[in-house]
Amino acid sequence: MPGRFLANSHSMTANLLLPGKVTFITGAGSGIGAAAARVFAREGATVVLTGRREERLAAVAGELRESGAEASYIVADVSRPEAARSAVAFVVEKYGRLDAAFNNAGIGGDRTPLHLMSDDVYDAIMDTNVRGVWNCLRHEIAAMLENGDGGGAIVNNSSVGGLVAIPAAAPYVASKHAVVGLTRAAADEYARQGIRVNAVAPGTTRSEITVDWFARNPGLEDAVHSMTPQARTAAPEEIAEAVAWLLSDRSPFLTGAVVPVDGGFVNQ
């Protein structure tokens, strides 16, 4: 019986995407980030969440612990360099290493014509969506270079707005194109050190950002559906599943890629 139990346990572990991986997720209190935390935990990972709203992080981490997963959180605004450094340091100090990171934190901003967009909106979007990824990449890569095996995997959350234009969202589109550039640059620079860096480009997903956009722009949701071959929006878990695969050892020869998870939107 013990031998049979061990064999079954080994088989179950072998079927997981992220067994024993120490993972780090930004913007993890809701939406795609919270969904990623649940998927990573289900796939055998240790999960460290970060974001700006402690009550949400605590709720997600508590849910994961109740399910039997190892989960922690640290409150941090990763658009601030020192906060990003401290968050990554927390992971390494607590668990001894960092294997995988999902740089998900981002904001959408108002849908406003470019010539009417305020500087404050532009600055807020670029600070979170670009500087936040930049800050995290620097410290995540440094931590992964200290791993005994020299490896690691990072996924940055871009958007279909990082591949094509979206009307009346110029700063958001610019920020998500910048995420694609950072992804490709980091992938090229650290490939020989065993660090893979990819991005996902979600289509319209039922996150707080899009729900807010739909509420403030009557008819927008129907318009989005009409432009998407699958004629629907994604659930956050559908994006998270793609991220988990990209971070796993099952995509070892994939780096510098930007994977649309968009129901066919950019293929039209």
Q: Which long-range contacts (CB under 8 A, 24 or more apart) does 123-127 make?
A: 125/171, 125/172, 125/175, 126/171, 126/174, 126/175, 126/178, 127/79
18-262: what fold? Rossmann fold (3.40.50)
Q: Which long-range contacts (CB under 8 A, 24 or more apart) does 209-216 make?
A: 209/31, 209/106, 209/107, 209/108, 210/108, 212/108, 213/108, 213/111, 216/111
- Whether 172 is catalytic: yes
Give the separation between CA 52 and CA 104, rounded to whole angstroms.
13
Q: Which amino acid is located at 59 in the chain?
A: A
Give the separation between CA 104 and CA 86, rounded to whole angstroms.
17
Q: Of the listed 73, 122, 172, 190, which one is catalytic?
A: 172
Q: Render each residue's pLDDT in the chain as its tens digit; 268 residues.
A: 344 434 444 456 779 999 999 999 999 999 999 999 999 999 999 999 999 999 999 999 999 999 999 999 999 999 999 999 999 999 999 999 999 999 999 998 778 999 999 999 999 999 999 999 999 999 999 999 999 776 999 999 999 999 999 889 999 999 999 999 999 999 999 999 999 999 999 999 998 777 887 888 888 889 889 999 999 999 999 999 999 999 999 999 999 999 999 999 998 8
5 exposure class (CB count in 10 Å sphere: 0-12, 13-18, 19+): exposed
The label of the residue with tokens 């088989």 reads 11
Give the separation between CA 226 and CA 203, rounded to whole angstroms.
13
How many CB atoms within 10 Å of residue 229?
11
pLDDT for residue 12: 60
Nearest Cα to Cα of residue 198 among 186, 189, 206, 208: 186
pLDDT for residue 1: 38
pLDDT for residue 210: 79
Residue ranges of domains in the chain: 18-262
